[in-house]
Chain A
Amino acid sequence: MPSKKLSWLILALVLVFSMVLAACGPAATEETTTEVTTGETTGEEAVVPADYTGTVEVFSWWTGGGEAAGLEAMIAVFNTAYPNIEFVNSAVAGGAGTNARAVLATRLQASDPPDSWQGHAGQELIGTYVAAGQIEPLNFLYEQNGWLDVMPATLIPLISLDGNIYSVPVNIHRANVMWYNPTVLSDAGIDPASLTTIDAFIAALQTLRDGGMESPLAMGEQWTAMHLMETVFLATLGPDAYNGLWDGTTDWAGAEVTAAIENYATILGYVNSDASALTWQDASQLVTNGDAAFNVMGDWAEGYFKELGLSPDNGTDFGWMPVPGTQGSFQFLSDSFVLAVGAPDRDAAIAWLTTCGSREGQDAFNPVKGSIPARSDGDVSLYDTYLQSAMADWAADTIVGSLTHGVVANDSWKTLINDALGVYLTDTTAVEAFQTSLVTACQSAGPCQ
């Protein structure tokens, strides 16, 4: 019976190997962890000279379309400023950054960080990489380059933790934009300029429904529902109380939040019934096709409209305004670059970040990508009509952060909110249960302890 013995032997071997592996795994990673924390070298750094020779590896998920072209334009500016630094573009394609982040996480765990990488400015980045001790504070760069004077003062706290700024925002997108169909509105006798409050907005939705448009507000899959939610919260709470949600000074269990959820529930009543089957592009297109009157979506929708051959200039293809009730607030999201702890070539990385924050760098990147610079001194003539209006608001408005796009909450908290929202969307009358789970989410992953 050699075969029976053999199979026992095989089984034993398999078990032994698995145990060896199970024992090795954790130990190996722990080693990496200590290395990362001890490798931290922070401190003041002299400005990198223009003739510095080195290599900078920059990691991003900008591999196609306006993003890749914008990155190329910014690399050209970098190469002019620092001709002796070789730029290594380590972009990873796929999944709106999901693949890239997975690759990055693996490299970071193996203590093989790129010099600098892309991330959504704010808590998404801070909650992930600062918590793990993987990126350096950049306050010295902001001070040396005078960026604190050219970036909105209300922006800085949103991209900082405990007074440390952790990334250089390259572009700015606005989340609280409502796109509308001018023809549909004028046919229904609605003046877009009159939509300055949530109540006026709800009244307009009802007018349109009475006029025969069953679903005047277009929405898409679940993340666009979260996007709509954050703008309604901002409209109901106002910028201060909205910011307070994320630092723990606004009570999630309070009456203001209840009111916000109720407004959200009312507005959801005017949304197309097939929302969960639509992408954001499908939903935005309902507006330009005249199937819906409004769509709340970030200003990348403008880039999509232009791809469809529509123009922001003629006033008939599409119109835009801040989401009713959010005038004077600019709910932003941003792609930004960081400085790795233990960067293989720290000076070259600092040179790259200097270009990222410079006027030339941002004005090279943003007109191509279809976003506005984080600096308020960009060259207005380079941008189209919509972007010019956004630049004016960026310089004048109160800046608040977007939840859906990683500014105000870390990924863990956002996931819990997303779960709560998903459950709520299956029954939008369950306002109380939704609020309870939002409170729980803040207690387990946010600042409410």
Chain B
Amino acid sequence: MRSKKEAWLSFLLVLPTILAIGIFVYGFILWTMRVSISQWTGLLPDYTFVGFENYIYLFSTARFQIDITNTLIFTAVFMTGAIGLGFFLAVLLDQGLKGEAFFRSLFLFPMAISYIVTGVVWRWLMNPAQGDRISGFNLLFHNLGLDFLINRWHTTPGWGIAFIAIPAIWQLSGYTMALYLAGLRAIPDQLREAARVDGATEWQIMRYVILPLLKPVTLSAVIIIGHMSLKVFDLIVAVAGKQLALDVPAINMWQTTFDGYYFGVGAAIGVLLLLSVALLIIPYIIYTQKGEANQ
């Protein structure tokens, strides 16, 4: 009897949250899906059903193709960079060096800054001007005599978006470092010792003992970094403004919807963004649920 009462009480306590999430998250997702299959253009809603016309149109535009390419490049660079650098830093910190806590906080701090601030600062650092107006990193390289490093940063034709990933890596590698550090600390020393007794080199231990045990951490990092990179918007706008060479789906969605009043097409971009993130996250949820069930 008591447990039933408690169940109802706890249900009542979470009810407001459920309602809010139900309306403001799931309700609006459904509504966005409805808009995405309508022909709504202009200020006034028009829910005339047009099937998948908006989606077909999107994939036919040159802009959305640029979006896809840019997202893929950005995700690849950002993910490799943030996870690689994070792992490297974690391994270094795990060597038990002095002042570890200090370095841990130091690497983690960039995460506390908003993308807009990061973007503005890196806009100055990655100033592509050359000649008399040279500044930022290019000026630093020039003064250090490293002129071959001077480059056009995010204005590089075709690959500009890869440079936008640099500030993102700077900001998020501390976070992946923390993830990996926690993972490394959770690996019992006995396992390493046992491997050493069996005659494994440090490299072999890393490759065949540590890395496989860190797989769940890597998976979490891939999910977290991956969904952030699919949704990136503010960082690009802060570094480079809205320009097509560095366009991604989120910026396209904003301009299409609020500058051009193509609400139907904008909603379709929103749904595609959600689907791409869901593709990443749902298998992960299933995987972790299975893991919990097995325990």
A binding-site residues for B, Cβ under 8 Å: 2-3, 6, 9-10, 13-15, 17-22, 25-26, 29-30, 33, 98, 102, 105, 108-109, 127-129, 131-132, 134, 214, 221-222, 273-274, 276-277, 279, 286, 291, 411-412, 414-416, 418-419, 421-423, 425-426, 437
Cβ B244 vs Cβ A412 within 8 A: no
Cβ B43 vs Cβ A415 within 8 A: no
CA distance A446 to B149 in the complex (A): 47
CA distance A117 to B66 in the complex (A): 37
**B1-34 contacts to A (CB < 8 Å):** 3-4, 7, 10-11, 14, 18-19, 21-23, 26-31, 34
CA distance A110 to B17 in the complex (A): 27
Cβ A131 vs Cβ B43 within 8 A: yes
Out of B3, B61, B240, B256, which one reaches A277, CB within 8 Å? Answer: B240
- On whether A276 and B241 interact (CB within 8 A), knowing A2-B7, A33-B44, the answer reads yes
Main secondary structure of the interface of A (DSSP, over half): helix
Kindly list chain B residues whose C-beta atoms are within 8 Å of the C-beta of A128. 42-43, 261
B binding-site residues for A, Cβ under 8 Å: 3-4, 7, 10-11, 14, 18-19, 21-23, 26-31, 34, 41-45, 47, 61-63, 66, 123, 127-133, 152-155, 157-158, 240-245, 247, 255-256, 258-262
Cβ A26 vs Cβ B45 within 8 A: yes
Main secondary structure of the interface of B (DSSP, over half): helix
Out of A17, A127, A279, A418, which one reaches B23, CB within 8 Å? Answer: A17
Task: Jot down 8 A-B pairs with beta carbons below 8 A, ordered by A.
Answer: A15-B22, A17-B19, A18-B30, A109-B43, A131-B43, A221-B242, A274-B155, A421-B244
Kindly list chain A residues whose C-beta atoms are within 8 Å of the C-beta of B131. 214
Cβ B241 vs Cβ A221 within 8 A: yes
Cβ B44 vs Cβ A132 within 8 A: yes
Cβ B260 vs Cβ A415 within 8 A: yes
- On whether A274 and B128 interact (CB within 8 A), knowing A21-B31, A26-B34, A415-B256, the answer reads yes
CA distance A104 to B43 in the complex (A): 11
Cβ A276 vs Cβ B243 within 8 A: yes
Cβ A222 vs Cβ B247 within 8 A: no
Cβ B11 vs Cβ A9 within 8 A: yes
- On whether A422 and B22 interact (CB within 8 A), knowing A131-B43, A132-B44, the answer reads no
Residue in A closest to B33 when the chains form the complex, CB atoms? A22
Cβ A276 vs Cβ B127 within 8 A: no
- On whether A6 and B7 interact (CB within 8 A), knowing A21-B31, A26-B47, A276-B240, the answer reads yes
**B281 CB, nearest partner CB in chain A, Å:** 18
CA distance A33 to B131 in the complex (A): 57
Cβ B245 vs Cβ A274 within 8 A: no
CA distance A41 to B189 in the complex (A): 82
Kindly list chain A residues whose C-beta atoms are within 8 Å of the C-beta of B28. 21
CA distance A19 to B23 in the complex (A): 9
Kindly list chain B residues whose C-beta atoms are within 8 Å of the C-beta of A30. 45
